Every structure is written in C-alpha cells, then in structure tokens.
C-alpha cells in the first residue's frame, strides 16, 4: 500500500446507499399513486447506437421496472432527422400515459439538439433542461430540476452537511450541472462561487470552500492544493481513462490501482475516475464522494423522483 493510501482520513460518502434510500421512497410514492389510479410513466428516446447511451437508457428502464413506473423505450435509427425526432417528442407530449420524456444525449450531429430540448413539454421535462424549468429554478419557483445537481443536494442534506451560511465553490459552469447547482445551493442559503477554466488563481479560490463541488470534466484535476483542510468534497465527474493517459493517472492516484487490476483481469484496459484525485484529496478533506459509487447512483434515483413529481404536478397535486 502506498503512502498516499495510508494517509486517507476523509469519511467516504456512500452514494449507493443514499440512492437506495431515495429509490425506496420513490417506490412507496408510486404505490400511493397507484392506489389513486395513477401510474407514473417515463419514455426514453434513444437515437442511434451509441454504446454508452444504450447502457444509460437500459439502466433507466430497469430502474422504472423495479419501482413500478411504466416505461417505454423508443429507439430511432442514427440517420433520424430533426423533424422526425420532433414528431416523436410531440407525440409523447400528447400521450397521457407518459409523465416524463427523456431524450438521451448526445444526439447525432445532424440533429438540432437545442430544438429537441425546447420541444419537450416543460411539464414532462424530467431532465430539467427546458428554459421554462431553468427559469423557474432561477426565480426560486417550483420546477423539475436537473437530476445530477439535485442528487448532490440530496447527498449534502442526508449527510447532515450544513449549507446555510456555508461557503461553496462549484468548479464547472455547464447547463447540466454547474449552473443549476449554483441556483439550488443559493436556495439553501449557501454562499456560492462558480469557477471555470478561465478563473484566475483557481486553487486559491477553491481553498476558500467549506464544500467543494468538482464538475469540470477533467480526470483527477482537483488535488489537495485545491482543498481547505476539513472541507467536504463532492466529485461529480465521471471519466473513462484508457490508452496513453492510463499510466499517468494510475501514478497520480494510487487509489485507482485496485480498480485497474480488476478491470485488467477482465481484459478491460481502462479505469473510471472522477474530477478529483481521490488519494490526494482524501488526506485533507473531512468527507468525499468516491467515483464510482458517489454522485452517480443519485442521478437515476433523482430521475425516478422527477418522474413521480411530474406525474403529481400534471394532476395538480
């Protein structure tokens, strides 16, 4: 065992456990709705044959089946046009059996992605990406919110990590994570700074955080120099590292060696890692989410929760 591994002091936050808790709550909510004659329904639209997208959609459909949510998977060929996909989305908007419409991203290049996201009914936008939902979130109104940043909030709440008055730094400004994360944390009365690739003196800014949320999309980018001793670190990143980069990432983060050895034995020459160098940061943080097993399990759990919420909102509940 390396010196870096033996120095780990941070509590490891179990996102898998929290995800199970939320799914059980959703299952009970679904049962309650069924007693009222309502079965929440989710439609997942997959265009093309992207292997990762196929896995994501399969996992979402399986989660629906396990929780009693009606699900429908719609597969379209890779050469589908924008107009053809719009027609599919519009039909789902009108379908009373469907409460949530999810168009799996990324879409093939020939499709106008913003036009598709805009076409999904805000009432059925369980990804929380429609401008109406984004605007309501910004104004502090009731809205369907993006699953991953909402999952981060659930982790912090369920781990009893104080948000009101805390200094939070979010690294990353994407529409999917960074921006909605900022707004969700503001609603909890946190003081929030959002950083990105052009932020000057980035490590120094991050070291001011009581809670650091890393969502920049660069494997192992956040190291101990970014973290104030005792801070809570939430790693939103999920990066598949292989090829020439693999040797360097293993040397930089010894915590990945066990995962690599297991994958290597199965002829898988890659590791999954977050945006945080786990070995480095775990030696100074008070708590940290691992990758995998941290934020990831919350994303699908919150999608299920959003589907139930959409079913209720559509019926005025």
The residue from 29, 60, 179, 275 that is catalytic is 60
- pLDDT score recorded for residue 52: 85
- Selected catalytic residue, list 127, 235, 253, 275: 127
Domain with CATH 3.40.50.720 in the chain: 146-299
Cα 172 from Cα 190, distance rounded (Å)? 17
Mean pLDDT of the chain, nearest integer: 95
**Given 29, 104, 124, 125, the catalytic residue:** 104
Does 3 have pLDDT greater than 80? Answer: no
> How does residue 8 score in pLDDT terms, banded at 50, 70 and 90?
low
Active site includes 262?
no
Has 104 been annotated as catalytic? Answer: yes
The reply to whether CATH 3.40.50.10860 applies to domain 37-123 is yes
The answer on pLDDT for 115 being more than 80 is yes
Active site residue 60: yes
Average pLDDT over residues 279-299: 97
- pLDDT tens-place string over residues 51-99: 889 999 999 999 999 999 999 999 999 999 999 999 999 999 999 999 9
**Measured torsion, CA atoms of residues 101, 104, 106, 110, in degrees rounded to the nearest 10:** -60
Quick: pLDDT tens for 138-151: 999 999 999 999 99
Instruction: Express as a percent the part of the chain with pLDDT over 70.
Output: 97
Q: Is the pLDDT of residue 19 over 80?
A: yes
Q: Where in the chain is the domain with CATH 3.40.50.10860?
A: 37-123
Q: Which CATH class is domain 146-299?
A: alpha beta
């Amino acid at each position: 065992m390396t010196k870096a591994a033996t120095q780990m002091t941070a509590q490891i936050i179990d996102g898998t456990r929290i995800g199970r808790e939320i799914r059980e709550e959703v299952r009970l909510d679904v049962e309650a709705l069924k007693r009222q004659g309502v079965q929440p329904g989710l439609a997942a639209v997959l265009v093309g044959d992207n292997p990762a997208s196929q896995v994501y959609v399969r996992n979402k459909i399986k989660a629906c089946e396990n929780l009693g949510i009606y699900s429908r998977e719609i597969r379209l060929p890779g050469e589908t046009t924008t107009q053809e996909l719009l027609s599919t989305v519009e039909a789902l908007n009108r379908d009373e059996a469907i409460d949530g419409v999810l168009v799996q991203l990324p879409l093939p290049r020939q499709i106008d992605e913003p036009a598709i996201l805009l076409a999904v009914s805000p009432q059925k936008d369980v990804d929380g990406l429609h401008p109406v939902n984004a605007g309501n979130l910004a104004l502090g109104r009731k809205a369907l919110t993006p699953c991953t940043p909402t999952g981060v909030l659930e982790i912090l709440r369920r781990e009893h990590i104080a948000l009101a008055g805390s200094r939070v730094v979010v690294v990353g400004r994407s529409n999917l994570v960074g921006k909605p994360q900022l707004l969700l944390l503001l609603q909890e009365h946190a003081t929030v700074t959002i950083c990105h690739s052009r932020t000057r003196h980035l490590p120094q800014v991050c070291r001011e955080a009581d809670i650091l949320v890393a969502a920049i999309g660069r494997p192992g980018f956040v190291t101990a120099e970014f973290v104030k001793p005792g801070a809570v670190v939430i790693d939103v990143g999920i990066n598949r590292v292989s090829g020439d980069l693999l040797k360097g990432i293993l040397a930089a983060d010894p915590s990945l060696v066990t995962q690599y050895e297991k994958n290597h034995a199965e002829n898988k020459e890659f590791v999954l890692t977050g945006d945080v160098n786990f070995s480095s940061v775990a030696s100074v943080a008070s708590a940290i989410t691992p990758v995998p097993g941290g934020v990831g399990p919350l994303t699908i759990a919150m999608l299920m929760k959003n589907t139930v919420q959409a079913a209720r909102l559509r019926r005025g509940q």
